[in-house]
Chain A
Amino acid sequence: MARVVIRVPAQAKRGEVIEVRTLAAHAMETGFRRTQLGELIPRDIIRSLVCTYNGVEIFRAELHPAIAANPLLAFTTVATESGTLEFRWSGDNGYAATQSVQISVV
């Protein structure tokens, strides 16, 4: 099961810039490493993260093998209204994870 961690302030003032930090538990196998017997280990990485705020896309990232294991992404957004931030990861070998957090804007 895909494990992800999201950190968003539970409450924010309207118009405030909030920091969003997210981390997914994933080995991010680069596809450049070899086993002891010299065989290439196939690539297995998370390729993209899409973040939507009440259904509107606010951030998107494409990841490459040069992103460290357990990829961390931190970005900012303006707290416009109360609602849901939804995070969608997708990657090699059918990896997919979706998680949402609630934010209340006062």
Chain B
Amino acid sequence: MISRRHFLLIAGSTLAAGAQAQLDPNRAAQRKAAMEAAVRKVTGGAPVRPGKVKLELPPLIDNGNAVPLAVSVESPMTEAEHVKAIHVFTERNPQPNVLDAYLGPRAGRARVETRARIADTQTVTAIALLSDGSFWSDSVDVVVTLSACLEEGLI
């Protein structure tokens, strides 16, 4: 059981934390930097070109807690030419990484499906690594009405 005093203390500190998140002008920049760092970790600084990849996400999301997400890549999936990995990133989730999937010529088709948590209205990016070492990407803008991970003081 929470006493009134205790409740007020918690409410006060939560509000203060929330206000801090609101006031921190670097928050958006930090998130962007975190995502860029996560992408760099995967690509090692190699250029990422748009195309070949198709990221399927509903454009309007009622509930961010379980969002169907599918990534497919145009590839013949042969021994000589196939998709090695598919990575999904978000810009404004508490952490940029969503999924790292590793596949090979035995997949037959380059398509991976899952369900993700999307914290806020934002851009979701999928990056695919092909067997020739090139990186391709696709981004989708989504609008979220009820977000996941609300507790982390979104901007």
- A interface, CB within 8 angstroms of B: 17-18, 21, 30, 32-34, 36-38, 53, 56, 58-69, 71-78, 80
Contact = CB atoms under 8 A, between A and B. Distances in A.
Contacts, number: 105
A78 B115 contact: no
Contact of A72 (B10, B102, B106, B113): B113
Nearest to B6: A37
Given A66-B93, A74-B112, A76-B107, A60 B101 contact: yes
B101 A66 contact: no
Given A62-B100, A66-B97, A68-B67, A75 B2 contact: no
19 contacts: A18-B108, A33-B151, A34-B151, A38-B13, A56-B106, A58-B103, A59-B103, A59-B107, A64-B95, A65-B94, A66-B98, A72-B114, A73-B101, A74-B113, A75-B101, A75-B107, A77-B108, A78-B106, A78-B107
A36 B14 CA distance: 11
B66 interface: yes
Contact of A64 (B66, B99, B152): B99
Determine the main DSSP class of B at the interface with A. Answer: mixed
Contacts of A67: 98-99, 114-117
A37 B151 CA distance: 13
Interface of B: 2, 10, 13-14, 65-67, 90, 93-95, 97-104, 106-109, 111-118, 148-149, 151-152
A61 B102 contact: yes
